[in-house]
Structure 1
Amino acid sequence: MQGQNISDVIEHYLKAMLDSSRQVEISRAEIAQHFNCVPSQINYVIKTRFTPQRGYVVESKRGGGGYIRILKVHLRDDQDLISLMAENIPQALRERDGQALIQQLYDAALIDRQAGNMMLAVLSHQTLNMGDREAEDELRSRLLLAFLDSLRYER
Protein backbone atom coordinates (compact mmCIF):
# COMPACT_ATOMS: atom_id res chain seq x y z
CA MET A 1 0.00 0.00 0.00
CA GLN A 2 3.01 2.22 0.06
CA GLY A 3 2.64 5.12 -2.35
CA GLN A 4 -1.15 5.06 -2.26
CA ASN A 5 -3.09 7.94 -0.82
CA ILE A 6 -6.22 7.47 1.28
CA SER A 7 -8.49 8.15 -1.71
CA ASP A 8 -6.86 5.28 -3.64
CA VAL A 9 -7.27 2.96 -0.65
CA ILE A 10 -10.95 3.85 -0.21
CA GLU A 11 -11.59 3.45 -3.94
CA HIS A 12 -9.92 0.02 -3.92
CA TYR A 13 -11.96 -1.03 -0.87
CA LEU A 14 -15.27 -0.01 -2.46
CA LYS A 15 -14.40 -1.62 -5.79
CA ALA A 16 -13.51 -4.84 -3.97
CA MET A 17 -16.98 -4.76 -2.42
CA LEU A 18 -18.46 -4.26 -5.90
CA ASP A 19 -16.54 -7.27 -7.26
CA SER A 20 -18.89 -9.58 -5.40
CA SER A 21 -22.07 -7.62 -6.12
CA ARG A 22 -23.30 -5.16 -8.76
CA GLN A 23 -24.34 -2.76 -6.02
CA VAL A 24 -23.30 -1.87 -2.50
CA GLU A 25 -24.95 0.22 0.15
CA ILE A 26 -22.64 1.99 2.55
CA SER A 27 -22.82 4.42 5.40
CA ARG A 28 -20.52 7.35 4.79
CA ALA A 29 -19.83 7.70 8.51
CA GLU A 30 -18.99 4.00 8.93
CA ILE A 31 -16.57 3.97 6.01
CA ALA A 32 -14.95 7.19 7.27
CA GLN A 33 -14.56 5.62 10.72
CA HIS A 34 -13.12 2.44 9.17
CA PHE A 35 -10.43 4.48 7.39
CA ASN A 36 -10.03 7.04 10.17
CA CYS A 37 -10.79 9.95 7.87
CA VAL A 38 -13.39 12.68 7.61
CA PRO A 39 -16.71 11.83 5.91
CA SER A 40 -16.06 14.45 3.25
CA GLN A 41 -13.14 12.27 2.08
CA ILE A 42 -15.66 9.52 1.29
CA ASN A 43 -17.76 12.06 -0.62
CA TYR A 44 -14.71 13.10 -2.62
CA VAL A 45 -13.85 9.52 -3.57
CA ILE A 46 -17.40 8.71 -4.59
CA LYS A 47 -17.85 11.95 -6.54
CA THR A 48 -14.58 11.61 -8.47
CA ARG A 49 -14.04 7.86 -8.81
CA PHE A 50 -17.57 6.45 -9.13
CA THR A 51 -19.00 8.46 -12.00
CA PRO A 52 -21.32 7.41 -14.84
CA GLN A 53 -18.43 7.84 -17.27
CA ARG A 54 -16.56 5.18 -15.29
CA GLY A 55 -19.58 2.87 -15.24
CA TYR A 56 -21.17 3.71 -11.88
CA VAL A 57 -24.42 5.26 -10.72
CA VAL A 58 -24.56 6.66 -7.19
CA GLU A 59 -27.79 7.10 -5.27
CA SER A 60 -28.01 8.53 -1.77
CA LYS A 61 -30.43 9.19 1.03
CA ARG A 62 -29.53 11.75 3.65
CA GLY A 63 -30.48 11.87 7.30
CA GLY A 64 -30.96 9.18 9.91
CA GLY A 65 -30.75 5.77 8.32
CA GLY A 66 -29.27 7.40 5.25
CA TYR A 67 -27.08 5.50 2.83
CA ILE A 68 -24.99 5.77 -0.28
CA ARG A 69 -25.72 3.13 -2.90
CA ILE A 70 -23.18 2.51 -5.64
CA LEU A 71 -24.30 0.52 -8.67
CA LYS A 72 -21.98 -0.86 -11.31
CA VAL A 73 -23.62 -0.41 -14.70
CA HIS A 74 -22.76 -1.05 -18.32
CA LEU A 75 -23.07 1.62 -20.97
CA ARG A 76 -25.58 0.81 -23.66
CA ASP A 77 -24.41 0.43 -27.23
CA ASP A 78 -26.90 2.94 -28.65
CA GLN A 79 -25.53 6.05 -26.96
CA ASP A 80 -25.55 8.28 -30.03
CA LEU A 81 -29.32 8.78 -30.30
CA ILE A 82 -29.78 9.18 -26.55
CA SER A 83 -26.94 11.69 -26.32
CA LEU A 84 -28.18 13.62 -29.33
CA MET A 85 -31.68 13.82 -27.88
CA ALA A 86 -30.41 14.89 -24.46
CA GLU A 87 -28.21 17.61 -25.96
CA ASN A 88 -31.10 19.07 -27.91
CA ILE A 89 -33.84 19.12 -25.30
CA PRO A 90 -34.76 22.72 -24.60
CA GLN A 91 -34.95 24.08 -21.08
CA ALA A 92 -38.75 24.18 -21.46
CA LEU A 93 -40.39 21.31 -23.38
CA ARG A 94 -43.96 21.39 -24.68
CA GLU A 95 -46.08 18.28 -24.21
CA ARG A 96 -46.37 17.51 -27.94
CA ASP A 97 -42.58 17.75 -28.33
CA GLY A 98 -42.11 15.37 -25.41
CA GLN A 99 -44.54 12.95 -27.04
CA ALA A 100 -42.57 13.11 -30.29
CA LEU A 101 -39.31 12.33 -28.46
CA ILE A 102 -40.86 9.36 -26.65
CA GLN A 103 -42.17 8.12 -30.01
CA GLN A 104 -38.64 8.37 -31.46
CA LEU A 105 -37.29 6.26 -28.59
CA TYR A 106 -39.99 3.67 -29.20
CA ASP A 107 -39.42 3.64 -32.96
CA ALA A 108 -35.69 3.12 -32.38
CA ALA A 109 -36.52 0.18 -30.05
CA LEU A 110 -34.78 1.89 -27.12
CA ILE A 111 -37.93 1.58 -25.00
CA ASP A 112 -40.87 -0.78 -25.07
CA ARG A 113 -44.54 0.17 -25.28
CA GLN A 114 -45.02 0.01 -21.50
CA ALA A 115 -42.08 2.33 -20.74
CA GLY A 116 -43.21 4.72 -23.47
CA ASN A 117 -46.76 4.84 -22.15
CA MET A 118 -45.52 5.41 -18.61
CA MET A 119 -43.34 8.32 -19.75
CA LEU A 120 -46.20 9.79 -21.78
CA ALA A 121 -48.34 9.67 -18.63
CA VAL A 122 -45.60 11.27 -16.51
CA LEU A 123 -44.99 14.05 -19.06
CA SER A 124 -48.67 14.80 -19.72
CA HIS A 125 -50.30 18.13 -18.93
CA GLN A 126 -52.83 16.24 -16.82
CA THR A 127 -50.03 14.95 -14.57
CA LEU A 128 -47.87 18.06 -14.50
CA ASN A 129 -50.65 20.66 -14.37
CA MET A 130 -49.07 23.28 -12.15
CA GLY A 131 -51.14 26.26 -13.18
CA ASP A 132 -47.99 27.78 -14.67
CA ARG A 133 -47.31 26.62 -18.24
CA GLU A 134 -43.66 27.72 -18.19
CA ALA A 135 -42.91 25.87 -14.93
CA GLU A 136 -44.71 22.81 -16.29
CA ASP A 137 -42.64 22.84 -19.50
CA GLU A 138 -39.41 23.22 -17.52
CA LEU A 139 -40.35 20.30 -15.27
CA ARG A 140 -41.24 18.20 -18.32
CA SER A 141 -37.80 18.94 -19.76
CA ARG A 142 -36.01 17.90 -16.55
CA LEU A 143 -38.08 14.72 -16.29
CA LEU A 144 -37.33 13.71 -19.86
CA LEU A 145 -33.63 14.40 -19.35
CA ALA A 146 -33.65 12.17 -16.26
CA PHE A 147 -35.43 9.46 -18.27
CA LEU A 148 -32.87 9.69 -21.07
CA ASP A 149 -30.05 9.53 -18.54
CA SER A 150 -31.53 6.33 -17.11
CA LEU A 151 -31.56 4.81 -20.60
CA ARG A 152 -27.80 5.22 -20.90
CA TYR A 153 -27.18 2.25 -18.63
CA GLU A 154 -28.17 -1.37 -18.39
CA ARG A 155 -28.85 -2.40 -14.80
Structure 2
Amino acid sequence: MEGVSGGGGPKPTVAVAVFLLRNSAVLLGRRRSPIGKDTFALPGGRLEFGESIEGCAKREVKEETGMDVKNIEVVKVVDDVVRDDANPSHFVTILVRAELVEPDQVPANLEPDKCEGWDWFRWDQLPQPLFRPLESLVQSGFSPFSSSSF
Protein backbone atom coordinates (compact mmCIF):
# COMPACT_ATOMS: atom_id res chain seq x y z
CA MET A 1 0.00 0.00 0.00
CA GLU A 2 1.46 3.26 -1.08
CA GLY A 3 2.12 5.83 1.61
CA VAL A 4 1.90 3.36 4.49
CA SER A 5 4.97 3.38 6.74
CA GLY A 6 6.15 0.79 9.22
CA GLY A 7 6.77 3.54 11.77
CA GLY A 8 9.77 5.56 12.87
CA GLY A 9 13.15 4.41 13.97
CA PRO A 10 15.97 2.65 12.16
CA LYS A 11 15.18 1.19 8.76
CA PRO A 12 16.54 -2.08 7.32
CA THR A 13 19.44 -1.83 4.89
CA VAL A 14 19.94 -4.21 1.98
CA ALA A 15 23.50 -5.34 1.28
CA VAL A 16 25.10 -7.72 -1.20
CA ALA A 17 28.10 -9.87 -0.21
CA VAL A 18 30.06 -11.86 -2.78
CA PHE A 19 31.61 -15.31 -2.42
CA LEU A 20 34.57 -15.47 -4.78
CA LEU A 21 35.89 -19.03 -4.72
CA ARG A 22 39.22 -20.44 -5.84
CA ASN A 23 39.71 -24.18 -5.39
CA SER A 24 38.73 -24.68 -1.72
CA ALA A 25 39.37 -21.05 -0.72
CA VAL A 26 37.26 -17.92 -0.40
CA LEU A 27 38.36 -14.27 -0.74
CA LEU A 28 38.17 -12.31 2.54
CA GLY A 29 39.38 -8.94 3.75
CA ARG A 30 39.86 -7.54 7.28
CA ARG A 31 37.42 -4.67 7.84
CA ARG A 32 38.53 -1.23 9.01
CA SER A 33 35.09 0.39 8.96
CA PRO A 34 33.25 0.89 12.29
CA ILE A 35 30.72 -1.88 11.61
CA GLY A 36 32.60 -5.13 12.15
CA LYS A 37 36.00 -3.48 12.66
CA ASP A 38 38.91 -5.98 12.57
CA THR A 39 36.70 -8.87 11.42
CA PHE A 40 37.15 -10.81 8.17
CA ALA A 41 34.43 -10.30 5.59
CA LEU A 42 33.46 -10.92 1.99
CA PRO A 43 33.64 -8.15 -0.59
CA GLY A 44 30.32 -6.34 -0.85
CA GLY A 45 28.28 -3.40 0.28
CA ARG A 46 24.96 -1.62 0.25
CA LEU A 47 22.54 -1.96 -2.61
CA GLU A 48 21.95 1.43 -4.21
CA PHE A 49 18.47 2.65 -5.14
CA GLY A 50 17.40 1.14 -8.48
CA GLU A 51 20.47 -1.12 -8.68
CA SER A 52 20.14 -4.84 -9.45
CA ILE A 53 21.67 -7.45 -7.16
CA GLU A 54 23.99 -8.50 -9.98
CA GLY A 55 24.94 -4.88 -10.67
CA CYS A 56 25.71 -4.29 -7.00
CA ALA A 57 27.88 -7.41 -6.80
CA LYS A 58 29.87 -6.40 -9.89
CA ARG A 59 30.27 -2.79 -8.71
CA GLU A 60 31.31 -3.65 -5.15
CA VAL A 61 33.88 -6.28 -6.20
CA LYS A 62 35.33 -3.87 -8.79
CA GLU A 63 35.43 -0.92 -6.34
CA GLU A 64 37.01 -2.96 -3.54
CA THR A 65 39.34 -5.37 -5.37
CA GLY A 66 39.65 -4.15 -8.97
CA MET A 67 38.48 -7.53 -10.23
CA ASP A 68 35.65 -8.28 -12.65
CA VAL A 69 33.06 -10.99 -11.97
CA LYS A 70 30.45 -12.90 -13.96
CA ASN A 71 27.90 -15.72 -13.52
CA ILE A 72 26.45 -14.24 -10.35
CA GLU A 73 23.93 -16.38 -8.48
CA VAL A 74 22.11 -15.83 -5.20
CA VAL A 75 23.01 -18.57 -2.70
CA LYS A 76 21.58 -17.28 0.60
CA VAL A 77 19.79 -14.38 2.26
CA VAL A 78 20.65 -13.43 5.84
CA ASP A 79 18.47 -11.25 8.06
CA ASP A 80 20.70 -9.77 10.80
CA VAL A 81 19.11 -7.54 13.45
CA VAL A 82 21.27 -6.00 16.17
CA ARG A 83 19.18 -4.38 18.90
CA ASP A 84 21.59 -4.54 21.85
CA ASP A 85 24.03 -1.96 20.53
CA ALA A 86 24.44 1.81 20.86
CA ASN A 87 23.59 1.97 17.14
CA PRO A 88 20.90 -0.67 16.43
CA SER A 89 20.97 -2.01 12.89
CA HIS A 90 19.03 -4.31 10.60
CA PHE A 91 20.84 -5.65 7.54
CA VAL A 92 19.26 -7.94 4.98
CA THR A 93 22.29 -9.36 3.20
CA ILE A 94 21.94 -11.12 -0.12
CA LEU A 95 24.86 -13.51 -0.51
CA VAL A 96 25.89 -14.35 -4.04
CA ARG A 97 28.49 -16.59 -5.58
CA ALA A 98 30.38 -15.24 -8.58
CA GLU A 99 33.19 -16.27 -10.89
CA LEU A 100 36.15 -14.14 -11.84
CA VAL A 101 36.07 -13.04 -15.49
CA GLU A 102 39.81 -13.79 -15.63
CA PRO A 103 40.63 -16.66 -13.21
CA ASP A 104 44.17 -15.38 -12.57
CA GLN A 105 43.09 -11.90 -11.44
CA VAL A 106 44.82 -10.75 -8.25
CA PRO A 107 42.81 -8.67 -5.78
CA ALA A 108 44.05 -5.15 -5.10
CA ASN A 109 43.14 -3.20 -1.97
CA LEU A 110 41.40 -0.23 -3.59
CA GLU A 111 39.71 0.99 -0.38
CA PRO A 112 42.51 0.92 2.22
CA ASP A 113 40.45 3.14 4.54
CA LYS A 114 37.81 0.37 4.71
CA CYS A 115 39.90 -2.81 4.37
CA GLU A 116 43.40 -3.91 5.40
CA GLY A 117 43.74 -6.11 2.30
CA TRP A 118 42.41 -9.20 0.54
CA ASP A 119 43.57 -12.78 0.69
CA TRP A 120 42.37 -16.30 -0.10
CA PHE A 121 41.50 -18.50 2.89
CA ARG A 122 40.63 -22.20 2.87
CA TRP A 123 36.99 -22.68 3.87
CA ASP A 124 38.00 -25.25 6.48
CA GLN A 125 40.64 -22.87 7.95
CA LEU A 126 38.93 -19.48 8.05
CA PRO A 127 40.63 -16.63 9.93
CA GLN A 128 39.12 -15.22 13.10
CA PRO A 129 37.18 -13.23 13.98
CA LEU A 130 34.66 -13.37 11.14
CA PHE A 131 32.19 -10.59 10.36
CA ARG A 132 28.99 -11.37 12.30
CA PRO A 133 26.75 -12.40 9.34
CA LEU A 134 29.51 -14.62 7.92
CA GLU A 135 30.16 -16.16 11.34
CA SER A 136 26.44 -17.01 11.64
CA LEU A 137 26.53 -18.73 8.24
CA VAL A 138 29.60 -20.77 9.12
CA GLN A 139 28.06 -21.79 12.47
CA SER A 140 24.92 -22.97 10.65
CA GLY A 141 26.95 -25.35 8.48
CA PHE A 142 26.50 -23.33 5.29
CA SER A 143 29.05 -23.83 2.53
CA PRO A 144 29.39 -21.62 -0.56
CA PHE A 145 30.85 -24.65 -2.34
CA SER A 146 27.63 -26.71 -2.37
CA SER A 147 25.37 -26.34 -5.39
CA SER A 148 22.13 -26.07 -3.40
CA SER A 149 22.89 -23.70 -0.54
CA PHE A 150 19.52 -21.94 -0.29
Category of TM-score, reference length = shorter chain: under 0.3
Report the structure, 1 or 2, having the larger strand content. 2
Larger CA Rg, structure 1 vs 2: 1
Name which structure has the greater RCO, CA cutoff 8 Å, separation 6+: 2
> How high is the TM-score relative to the length of structure 1?
0.22
